[in-house]
Amino acid sequence: MEELMPWGVGALTAVSVRAALDIASPAGSRRGEGRVHSDVLRLRALALARRLGGWVHVPARVERVVDAWAAEAAHLAAPLVGPAARERTAARGTLYLQVAAGALLGFVVALSPWGLLVGAVAPAAVCASRAARRARETARRVEAAMPEAFQALAISLGSGHSLAQALRFVGAHAEEPLRSAFLEASLEITCGVPAHEALQELLRRLPAPGLGLVTTALAVSQRTGAPLRDLLGRAAGMVGERIELARRLEVKTAQARLSARLVTAMPVVLMGALTLLSPDFRAGIASVAGALSVVVALALDAVAWLIIRKIMEVKV
């Protein structure tokens, strides 16, 4: 392995220099020539990502997780590859390419299989962190928009509109992702899908607070004709109070949450940095005792993070 490392580094250097020469415009050439080479490389990278994304099979259970990570990988790569990288197959391929590039870079830096592992995990960890943060932001945006949606639904139903018309009215005046969810529910009812099934599908697509109670009430009202104006008004007030309480809790626990993230992330980051940069550390974890110590330390770190999250968890 050690004899092959210089050849591998030399080959990677040659490829990097060749790519740089292809992208950069040579001296005395036309200004647009470098841009043409850059567009060709971008199209080749996009084609490779699409092929790789369609070739690698993803189990059905982890498809949603991989797609969320792939969306973040495509968002990061969009300035280099273009907006077409956000298409599903290309996004998955972009994620796989980033993992492969990270593994290759880790191997070059550490000249060790441990660097290969750390480099492969790092891009996936970044995409997972960004995906989790985006999911939290989406949930907050949906929760903040629900009181207005309930009020609009109450006004529309109180004006004599049917359930499909009321859902279409809410979707027409709401922003994403509420817009698509309510319009799809309205279209399903218009096309003949039973109201309770369309409302259950709406709840599945949009797991917002208070929406479960409202969908149940809407299904009952659809059968019995009972008025829902007061119920929808109370649901809007309940969600508004929940949002205010969640904001207060977020402010009061901000320091504790930041401390928990730092305490749990620091050992993992330091371990990865030492694995890439320190031959003595790599030699230590290559032994049975060292590997066992790392596994125990990571397990204790994960348990501590779960305990801290359980302590700070407050259901509102």
Reported as a single tens digit per residue, the pLDDT across 256-284 is 777 777 877 888 888 888 887 888 888 88
Under 8 Å between Cβ of 169 and 179: no
H-state helical runs in 24-112: 31-55, 63-81, 88-110
Give the amino acid at 254. Answer: A
Q: Is the pLDDT of residue 226 over 70?
A: no
H-state helical runs in 111-177: 113-158, 163-173
d(CA 110, CA 228): 65
- Give the model's confidence band at 222: pLDDT under 50 very low, under 70 low, under 90 confident, else very high: low
Q: What pLDDT, in 10s, does the model give residues 169-181?
A: 888 888 888 888 8
Q: Mean pLDDT score of the chain, rounded to an integer?
A: 75
Q: Is the pLDDT of residue 17 over 50?
A: no
Q: Is the pLDDT of residue 18 over 50?
A: no
- Give the model's confidence band at 121: pLDDT under 50 very low, under 70 low, under 90 confident, else very high: confident
d(CA 98, CA 85): 13
Extract the tokens encoding 29.
């050439």
d(CA 60, CA 8): 36
What separation in angstroms does the CA of 104 have from each of 10, 13, 47?
Answer: 13, 12, 20
Under 8 Å between Cβ of 41 and 23: yes
Percent above pLDDT 70 for the chain: 81
- Give the model's confidence band at 241: pLDDT under 50 very low, under 70 low, under 90 confident, else very high: confident
The mean pLDDT value for 83-111 works out to 80
Q: Identify the pLDDT of residue 301.
A: 81
Question: Which residues are within 8 A (CB) of 214 and not within 5 positions of it... i.e. 6 or more apart?
Answer: 150, 153, 231, 232, 235
The mean pLDDT value for 228-241 works out to 71
Count of C-beta atoms within a 10 Å radius of residue 219: 18
Q: Is the pLDDT of residue 24 over 60?
A: no
- Give the model's confidence band at 3: pLDDT under 50 very low, under 70 low, under 90 confident, else very high: very low
Cα-to-chain-centroid distance, residue 46 = 21
Q: Is the pLDDT of residue 91 over 70?
A: yes
The mean pLDDT value for 221-244 works out to 71
Q: Is the pTM of this model over 0.75?
A: no
d(CA 148, CA 208): 13
Which residue bears the tokens 């697509």? Answer: 205
What separation in angstroms does the CA of 242 have from each of 72, 98, 172, 238, 316?
Answer: 30, 40, 25, 6, 6
Q: Identify the pLDDT of residue 305.
A: 79
Q: Identify the pLDDT of residue 159.
A: 79
What separation in angstroms does the CA of 52 have from each of 57, 198, 218, 289?
Answer: 10, 37, 46, 38
Q: Is the pLDDT of residue 79 over 80?
A: no
d(CA 275, CA 294): 11
Under 8 Å between Cβ of 91 and 85: yes
Extract the tokens encoding 211.
């929406």
Q: Could you tell me which of 73, 100, 99 has the C-alpha nearest to residue 87? A: 73
The region that residue 312 occupies, defined by phi over 0 for left and psi between -120 and 50 for alpha, beta otherwise, is alpha
d(CA 42, CA 90): 12
Long-range contacts, 136-142 (Cβ 8 Å, 24+): 138/177, 142/177, 142/178, 142/206, 142/208
Q: Identify the pLDDT of residue 7.
A: 45
The mean pLDDT value for 54-64 works out to 77
Q: Identify the pLDDT of residue 128.
A: 86
Q: Give the single-character DSSP code of 29.
A: S
Q: Identify the pLDDT of residue 6.
A: 42
The mean pLDDT value for 277-304 works out to 83
The mean pLDDT value for 98-119 works out to 80
Q: Identify the pLDDT of residue 176.
A: 80
Q: Identify the pLDDT of residue 29.
A: 43
Q: Is the pLDDT of residue 103 over 70?
A: yes
Under 8 Å between Cβ of 156 and 166: yes
Count of C-beta atoms within a 10 Å radius of residue 144: 15
Q: Identify the pLDDT of residue 14.
A: 45
The mean pLDDT value for 132-139 works out to 85
Least confident residue range of 160-164, 204-208, 235-239: 235-239
